Amino acid sequence: MKINQVEELVEITKKNIRFYEEQGLLSPKRNPENGYRDYSLKEVDDLMKIKLLRKLSVPIEEIRLLQEGTLSLARCMESQIVRFHHEQQNLQLSLQLCDRLAEEVKDFESLDASEYLSSMKKMEEGGTKFMDIEKNDIKQKKYGSALSAAVMIMIMILLIAMILWANTVDQLPIGVLFFMILPFVAVIIGAIVALKLRMKEIDGGEEDEARKY
């Protein structure tokens, strides 16, 4: 079956499916007639398993070990239980620190951040990990970039539509019409290219490949 069918069956995007292929978790055969990937029910079943494990935050490398048979599912789940317990403890400590701030500090101006940061540093040295806001920051950057590009593209499309509408009232030579529309089309293409470059820049410099999935 084709990747579109697999995407619909498993509810995993084509981008994610290809990512798992790149990571060696999937190896679909190629159709000898056209060279396209030909997914079987085995790949669908593997993707279902991968989807389940990824929803449980199992790392890519451990899924690979599971497939190779060098890691048992029971041992893998035991590791996840330990991780989740650790995250639960970290969250509890974060809640306790929030309680302290709520009780001890009256307002933002009187907040002595250095005192609490010192406490957090000691807790981190003991193995505590506080909330990583990097992922949310990255999402906001991507959303802002995409929104700006979308607004620009919509404006250009609207202007092109206005020119085409005006042309139905008072027709211009095709060459003149083409050169009137060309700058707006160039802006649209430029916005799309700039957005793609910006996304690559964010991904490459601020986000680990495995964390995207």
- Residue 212 has what pLDDT? 42
> Whole-angstrom Cα distance, residue 70 to residue 62?
9
CA distance 111 to 40: 60
For residue 49, the model assigns a pLDDT of: 95
Give residue 73's pLDDT: 95
Q: Which helix (H) or strand (E) holds 29?
A: strand 29-30
How many CB atoms lie under 10 A from the CB of residue 22? 10
* Residue 80 · residue 57 · CB < 8 Å: yes
Q: Name, in order, each residue with C-beta under 8 angstroms of 32's C-beta and a sequence gap of 6 or more.
A: none
Q: What value does the CA radius of gyration of the chain take, rounded to a whole number of Å? A: 26
Burial class (CB in 10 A: 0-12, 13-18, 19+), 17: buried
**What are the pLDDT tens digits along the chain (213 aa)?**
888 999 999 998 888 898 899 889 998 888 888 778 889 999 999 999 999 999 998 999 999 999 999 999 999 999 999 999 988 988 888 888 889 999 998 888 889 888 888 888 888 887 777 765 445 545 565 667 788 888 889 999 999 998 888 888 888 888 888 888 999 899 999 888 888 877 765 554 433 444 444
Question: What is the C-alpha separation between 143 and 141, in angstroms, rounded?
Answer: 5
Find the angle CA(174)-CA(192)-CA(166) to the nearest 5 degrees: 30
Q: Give the integer Cα–Cα distance in Å for 164 and 35.
A: 42
Q: Determine phi and psi for 50, rounding to 5 degrees.
A: -60, -45
How many C-beta atoms surround the C-beta of residue 115 within 10 A?
11
pLDDT at position 132: 54
Looking at the DSSP assignment, which residues form a beta bridge with residue 30?
A: 37
pTM: predicted TM-score of the whole model, two decimal places: 0.55
Neighbours of 14 (CB within 10 A): 11
pLDDT in tens, 41-64: 999 999 999 999 999 989 999 999
The CA-based diameter of the chain, rounded to the nearest angstrom, is 76
